[in-house]
Amino acid sequence: MTKAEVLRLPAPAKLNLMLRIVGRRDDGYHLLQTVFQFIDRCDWITLRRRSDGLVRLLTPLPGVPEEMDLTVRAAQLLRQSAGVRCGVEIEIEKNLPMGGGLGGGSSDAATALLGLNCLWQAGLSLQDLMILGLQLGADVPVFVNGCSAWAEGVGEVLTPLDLSEPWYLVVVPECHVATGQIFSAPGLTRNNKPIKIADFLAGQQENHCLPVVSELYPKIEAALGSLRRFSPARLTGTGACVFATFADETDARAAAIALERDWSVFVARGMNRSPLHQALKLA
């Protein structure tokens, strides 16, 4: 098997640096304002081209049927949309927690789309792939697009942002948050006032899901309390992961050492350009 027939690619995590809920559509989807930034913590996806047209997942997740895995769905969607006859074997090295608010599943799907577009020489544009990605999940387009962004709509209307790239300490509580449960909670405020990018940059960085998440998941509230001893702590997406910003790696790692006796933690660097785009040498 030649190198051209195999790709091993990163699927980076993201953080939501803020999350506002500013309305609700007739179809039930919530209207959001959020800011995405990548971090250098990744799943890894290996794609091996097959000539028989079959799509096979070699590393299925427990309890998730193969045909429902987002990478398999991404591959099938790309095959159908681009008229590709090739197949693929997919291996996923999972490093990102499920239900953690880091976008692992969406990022895996985006890596499959971009990687297979290259491996299969399907010829779709980045915009084409973003449109396909939206069929798989509201967060997939930002991973396809590959740059830090202000997002509106259901999270798919993107404006690139040039942000500082600090060090983050991320705490991973031992619980999985069901996003649907949070967005359907009676206590969730859904009519918050929209803000502008300048307001975010000036410090308006609330997460409107936080009160509901803290009430329903005591472990997350406890994690926030522990992290606040070192730096202001925030929730990414609907959680479960919480994070804090540090100016340098040394301070972040010192806080991590103090917390790792009680919590699962990791230190990561903020990135405005996705490592997936860097790996594929995309402009």
Selected catalytic residue, list 14, 43, 69, 108? 14
Is 70 exceeded by the pLDDT of residue 266?
yes
C-alpha dihedral (134, 136, 139, 140), degrees to nearest 10 = -80
Which run of H or E residues covers position 49?
A: strand 30-50
- Cα–Cα distance between 31 and 24 in angstroms, integer? 5
| Residue 19 sits in the same domain as residue 127 | yes
pLDDT at 1 over 70: no
> Contact at 8 Å (CB) between 260 and 252?
no
Percent of the chain with pLDDT over 90: 92
Contacts 24+ apart (CB under 8 A), 273-276: 273/38, 273/146, 273/147, 273/148, 274/12, 274/38, 274/143, 274/146, 274/147, 275/10, 275/12, 275/38, 275/40, 275/42, 276/9, 276/10, 276/11, 276/12, 276/110, 276/111, 276/114, 276/143, 276/146
Integer CA distances (angstroms), 45 to 9, 98, 265, 280, in order: 5, 16, 23, 13
**Which one from 43, 69, 108, 139 is the annotated catalytic residue?**
139
CA–CA dist 133, 59 (Å, integer): 22
Same domain, yes or no: 199 and 101 = no
Q: What is the mean pLDDT of residues 248-261?
A: 98
Q: Residue 244, SS3?
A: strand
In this prediction, residue 154 carries a pLDDT of 86
Q: Model-level pTM?
A: 0.95
Long-range contacts from 23-29, C-beta under 8 angstroms, 24+ separation: 23/190, 23/191, 24/190, 25/154, 29/138, 29/154
Residue-wise pLDDT for 25-74, tens only, equals 888 889 999 999 999 999 999 999 999 999 999 999 888 899 999 999 99
Angle 21-274-134 from CA coordinates, rounded to 5°: 50
Mean pLDDT of 126-142: 96
DSSP-assigned letter for residue 161: -
139 as an active site residue: the answer is yes
Q: Do 24 and 54 sit in the same domain of this protein?
A: yes
- Identity of residue 177: V
The sign of the dihedral angle between the CA atoms of 117, 78, 106, 205 is positive
Q: What is the largest CA-CA distance in the chain?
A: 56
Q: Which pLDDT belongs to residue 2?
A: 44
Q: Are residues 59 and 88 in the same domain?
A: yes
Structure confidence by residue, pLDDT tens digits, 164-187: 999 999 999 999 999 999 999 999
Q: Which of 132, 161, 190 is the last residue of a domain?
A: 161
Say yes or no: 222 and 190 in one domain: yes
In the prediction, which pLDDT does 39 show? 98
End-of-domain residue from the set 145, 161, 177? 161
For residue 133, the model assigns a pLDDT of 97
The boundaries of the domain holding residue 220 are 167-271
pLDDT, position 107: 98
The residue from 130, 161, 192 where one domain ends is 161
Asked if 55 and 185 sit in the same domain, the reply is no
Confidence category of residue 122, pLDDT binned at 50, 70, 90: very high
**% of residues, the chain, pLDDT over 70:** 98
Domain assignment present for 276 = no
**Quick one: 65 and 150 in the same domain?**
yes
On whether the CB atoms of residues 150 and 158 are closer than 8 A, the answer is yes
